[in-house]
A and B are shown apart, each in its own frame.
Chain A
Amino acid sequence: MAAEEQSEGLQFHPMEQFTLEPLFGDGPIHWYTPTNATLWMGIAILVIVLLLVIGTRRRAIVPNRTQSIGELAYGFIYTMVEDVAGKEGVKYFPYIMTLFMFIVTANFLGLIPLSFSTTSHIAVTVVMALLVFVTVTLIGFFKHGIGFLKLFWVSSAPLALRPVLAVIELISYFVRPVSHSIRLAGNVMAGHAVIEVFATFGAILAIAPLSLIGIVAMFGMDVLVAFVQAYVFTILTCVYLKDALHPAH
């Protein structure tokens, strides 16, 4: 057996960390089974409550640190919605804030060693992207009726080109949720997987220091990615919302 392990060499399992497991027992995963994903989503809710509800309970005119962070997050997303989607978009601010807070919290929680990254799963990000896509499309049709289709009719282009452009615009519109979701899950997953690969190389003594440096560097990168991807997901949501509110080019 020992010889066999030797011959197999290093065992890379970079994706094992993303496996869903039931929290209690070892049974199959039904739709209602509490899993590690459930646990870390719950922790994300707790963190959001701590930051935005418990942290602001004193309603201080001069805020403490926690309240400051909560207010910064609020101001950050509020200005983003107002700047990108316009005054009408402010109505949808709580939805966008919900998405941002969940993604940014889940991303940072996923950086805790041995935790579980809920946002690294396509199932999660696709649902969020589809929610945005369907909502935004419905808003567009409710607000402008058939006029929403002007979004695909580039009136500033020459008439002959417009049908071609309309096809391209239509395809790009339907690709939106795909890129929207895969971007987030892919970034989070790749970062965690690379850290895992570096960590596996740490088993070889000669390159262990190098692997340690690699882990530290990747972790720093991932901290950046955790915030940037949440930001990107949110601002894209705002952009799509803007398209629905003001479809004319």
Chain B
Amino acid sequence: MATSTSEAAAEAGHAAEKAGMPQLDFATFPNQIFWLLVTLVVIYFILSRFALPRIASVLAERQGTITGDLAMAEELKQKALEAEEAYNRALAEARAEAQKIVAENKARMQTELDAAIAKADAEIAAKLAESEAAIAEIRKGAVKAVKQVATETAKEVVKVLGFKPDPKLITKAVTERLKGRAQ
């Protein structure tokens, strides 16, 4: 009984020792300090040799890429603007050219048309004169024919009536009659 009690007490004491703060167990301090310093030196070595320069270069590279891309975008935008301007200028030029050509053509066609009209007018006038001459001739021919027919007819009529036709008299009469009609 006594031994068990003392054992229990020893256990309790041990437990109390364990329940105390291990942080204040100075026996472990050299160990922790040693390993901490090793750890810090290793981390510092890794960071300053490998990690930090690499991350810095990646960040700088990214910054450079972004700046470069922005500059390129700006340049391309400028180029697009220039291209648009050139296109507009070309369009305006083409339009002006087209208008010039249209005007030229119009003028040329006008002169050609004028010439053609004048030529046609002249031809028409010539044809008209010709026609008038022809009509006059036809009319003249017609009068002559009428005179002849009338003379013949008159001759026959006179012959039928039993007289001897006097051609001179008949011609004179027909001419006189026709003169009056023809007016």
**A: which residues have CB within 8 A of B?**
4, 11-13, 15-16, 18-20, 28-35, 37-38, 41-42, 44-45, 48-49, 52-53, 56, 59-61, 63, 67, 70-71, 74-75, 93-95, 97-99, 101-102, 118, 120-124, 127-128, 131, 185, 189
Contact = CB atoms under 8 A, between A and B. Distances in A.
Contact of B35 (A12, A37, A94): A37
Interface of B: 8, 15, 18-25, 27-40, 42-44, 46-48, 50-52, 54-59, 61-62, 65
A76 to B, nearest CB: 12
A18 B36 contact: no
CB-based closest 3 A-B pairs: A52-B51, A31-B30, A41-B39
Nearest to A38: B35
A37 B55 contact: no
A19 B46 contact: no
A94 B44 contact: yes
A31 B54 CA distance: 35
- Among B15, B38, B48, B54, max chain A CB count under 10 A is at B54
A127 B55 contact: no
Nearest to A34: B35
A127 B31 contact: no
A24 to B, nearest CB: 14
Given A48-B43, A94-B47, A15 B19 contact: yes
Give the one of B25, B36, B61 with max A CB within 10 A.
Answer: B36
B34 A98 contact: no
Contact of B23 (A18, A29, A56): A18
A49 B39 CA distance: 12
Contacts of A67: 58
Given A16-B19, A20-B25, A75-B59, A123 B43 contact: no
A52 B44 contact: no
B39 A33 contact: no
Contacts of A18: 21-23
Given A20-B32, A102-B43, A123 B23 contact: yes
A34 to B, nearest CB: 8
A118 B28 CA distance: 12
Given A20-B22, A70-B55, A124-B36, 16 more contacts: A4-B8, A13-B19, A15-B19, A29-B28, A41-B35, A41-B38, A48-B43, A52-B51, A52-B55, A59-B58, A74-B55, A74-B56, A122-B24, A127-B33, A127-B36, A128-B36
Contacts of A41: 35-36, 38-39
A37 B43 contact: no
A127 B37 contact: yes
Nearest to B35: A38
